[in-house]
Structures are given as structure tokens and as C-alpha cells.
Structure 1
Amino acid sequence: MPALSPAATRTAPLARPGRPAVVARTLTELAGPTRGVVELPLRLMWNAERTFDLGDPDELLWMYENVLRETTRADDLRLLIDGRTLHRVWRLLNLPRGVRQAWESRHRGLRAA
């Protein structure tokens, strides 16, 4: 699959210093799980507790925040984030300004979510 856009310009919004935010081209391509328990790879979550019960609203938010903030891979978004769920919880997520800006620039519907 083609890479997702980290908005590869020098002025791209940053997830953290020196790292552009990775953003999906469409929300429909995000087909991650919507229930069950998910274990994040170590590259996305450095904590020993890397499992999240998606039935627990707080754990779902915590997982999404970590994936959106830490990913450098398009496949992480496709495999771990669900587009409809992301739209539903968007305003509840605690994200760095650069991540929020990058996603809302690409997906204007998130701003109104």
C-alpha cells in the first residue's frame, strides 16, 4: 500500500520535535479493531502495560493518543485505528498541537466532530 502522508514539507505539523505527524489519506482506510484487547508494539508504547481493552472508553482514548502521537508508519494507523471511532472520539483525545493540526487540515470533518 502507498505510504500515508506525513505532509513531507519543511512546515509540516510535528508530532514531536523533528518528527512529522503521520496522517491517513482517508478515514475509511482506517480499519482497526473496535472491540477486544489490543497490545501495542513497543515502538508505540514504551510502558510495560501495553494492552488496551477497547470496551473501556478511557483505555480506548489512551491507545488512540499513543498511536497518533508515536507512529511513524502508515500501517500502524490502518491496523490500530478505526476511522468511525476516531471521528467519534476526536474531541476527547489529548494530542499534541501538531498532530491535531495535521489531522484536521487533512480531514476537515474532524474539526466539526
Structure 2
Amino acid sequence: MSSAAVDSRYEQLAERLPASLDALAGPVSGTVELPLHLAWSGLRAFDLDRPRLRMGLYRIVLTEGMREDLIRYLDPGLLVEQWPVLRTLVGPAVRSVWESAFGELATAAQA
């Protein structure tokens, strides 16, 4: 992948970010059904009370979601709590953009 393509990917991801983690307003428990534009293949309903399913939902939303999806489906506390493992499940561009924008995630990654 060319340097320009990588830069473009980072810019696209950065444009999707919320202004702060506090803008995230996702649920912390219960079952969440993702829309088809996020989960077009396979599982669409995720029980947030089950850690593996919650991690799957967060991975999908971080990778595929637009700003409105990020705000609607992610909770700031759960994101920071899960980040040390979650960061290994998303691509390097997603990981880099989120950790660069939000120091809380970079700190959690070092814990």
C-alpha cells in the first residue's frame, strides 16, 4: 500500500472520531442489534453482558462505524476498560488513530 493510500486511510478514520470519549453514549448492558450497514454478514445481535460478544460488537463498530455509530454503540468506560485487548483485534490504522486522538486509550494500552 502506498504512503498516500495509508495517509488517506488514517484521514478517513480520523474524520469519523467523536470530539471526545465523553461524546460516546452507548449502552453498557443488554442486547444490541447492529444495523446491516455495520454487520452485513453473520451475527448482528450482541449481548453486552457477555464479554466476548461485547468485544465483537466493539471491534465491528470501531472498524466499520461512522461517527454516529461510534457515538450510539460505544460506551467510554467500556472502551477504555477493554482497550488493552480490543486494540489487538482492530487493524493498525484504527489502533493508531484512536490512541493518537485519545490519551486515555494510549495509557490503557500501556497498562
Same fold? TM cut 0.5? yes
Number of matched pairs: 99
Partner in structure 2 of residue 80 of structure 1 = 73
Given the two structures, how large is their TM-score scaled by the length of structure 1?
0.81
Give runs of aligned pairs for residues 11-90 of structure 1, distance below 5 A: 11-14=7-10, 20-21=12-13, 22-71=16-65, 73-90=66-83
- Indicate the structure with greater helix content: 2
- Provide the C-alpha distance between the structure 2 equivalents of 1:64 and 1:86, rounded to a whole number of angstroms: 8
Runs of 4 or more, structure 1, over 2 Å off, are 10-14
Quick check: 1:106 aligned with 2:101?
yes
Return the TM-score normalized by structure 2.
Answer: 0.82
Distance 1:24 1:12, change over 3 A: farther
| Structure-2 change in CA distance of 1:12 and 1:105 (3 Å) | farther
Q: 1:23 to 1:61 in 2, by over 3 A?
A: same
Q: State the superposition RMSD in angstroms.
A: 1.7
Percent of residue pairs bearing the same amino acid type: 35
CA distance in 2, matches of 1:25, 1:48: 31
Q: Structure 2 unaligned runs (5+)?
A: 1-5
